[in-house]
């Protein structure tokens, strides 16, 4: 019951009417889905309610044969030794020309806006954004990124119209395991 309520709350937070006054949020030109699959450490985010106290957050993607993306989001609640939390939404690639715009489904039939707005050439760092500029996730293949790179990404996020004062760094600790 608790898991269902958490998923419902997350879906409610990620949906809603989009504001027409915001300019379009550009995405990367093309995402190689096979290269994008795998584990991504959440470096920072403007979190949804369920992930507001996340530690060791990791988002994992697996491309299924039907073209959807099996997603597993795990984190420790409130500390490195906190209880393990897991969410398993399904990703749907909505823009197959770029593979950069997805719908992320926590509960049927709602598909939350999910846009790959930034991706390094080596597929080492990405930023997942939303048109509404309400939530954002900075993720990397490693638990930390250089501070200068992080500050550059924060500046990009601010330029997209986000309130970066709401950005929270996610504590990551090697070996703590999500």
CATH number at residue 132: 2.40.128.20
pLDDT at 172 over 80: yes
Cβ neighbours, 10 Å, residue 145:
20
What does residue 27 show for φ and ψ, rounded to 5 degrees?
-115, 175
> Is 23 domain-assigned?
no
Binning the chain into helix, strand and coil, the percentages to the nearest 5 are 20, 35, 45
> Is 101 domain-assigned?
yes
What radius of gyration, in Å, describes the C-alpha atoms of the chain?
15
- 138-153 pLDDT tens trace: 999 999 999 999 999 9
Segment 30-58 shows an average pLDDT of 96
Tokens of 113: 């806006």
State how far the Cα of 39 lies from the Cα of 107, in Å rounded to an integer.
Answer: 22
> What band does 21 get if pLDDT is binned at 50, 70 and 90?
confident
pLDDT at 175 over 70: no
pLDDT at 110 over 90: no
> Is 60 domain-assigned?
yes
CA distances, 52 to each of 10, 20, 64, 135, 167 (Å): 11, 27, 29, 11, 11
> Is 177 domain-assigned?
no
pLDDT at 41 over 60: yes
Provide the domain count of the chain: 1
> Is 158 domain-assigned?
yes
> Is 89 domain-assigned?
yes
Q: Let me know: does 11 contact 106? Beta carbons within 8 Å.
A: yes
> Is 21 domain-assigned?
no
> Is 103 domain-assigned?
yes
Domain of 119, in residue numbers: 2-15+28-169
Give the DSSP H or E segment for 152.
Answer: helix 147-159
What pLDDT score was predicted for residue 112?
78
């Amino acid at each position: 019951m608790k898991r269902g309520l958490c998923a419902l709350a997350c879906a409610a937070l990620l949906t809603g009417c989009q504001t027409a006054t915001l300019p379009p949020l550009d995405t990367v030109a093309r995402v190689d889905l096979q290269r994008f699959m795998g584990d991504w450490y959440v470096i920072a985010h403007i979190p949804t309610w369920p992930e507001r106290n996340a530690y060791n957050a990791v988002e994992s993607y697996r491309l299924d044969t039907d073209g959807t993306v099996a997603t597993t989001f795990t984190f420790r609640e409130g500390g490195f030794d906190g209880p393990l939390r897991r969410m398993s939404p399904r990703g749907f690639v909505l823009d197959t020309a770029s593979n950069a715009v997805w719908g992320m489904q926590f509960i049927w039939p709602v598909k939350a806006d999910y846009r790959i707005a930034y991706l390094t050439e080596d597929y080492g760092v990405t930023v997942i954004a939303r048109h509404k500029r309400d939530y954002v996730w900075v993720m990397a293949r490693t638990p930390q990124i250089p501070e200068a790179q992080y500050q550059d990404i924060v500046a990009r996020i601010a330029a997209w119209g986000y309130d970066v004062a709401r950005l929270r760094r996610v504590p990551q600790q090697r070996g703590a395991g999500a």
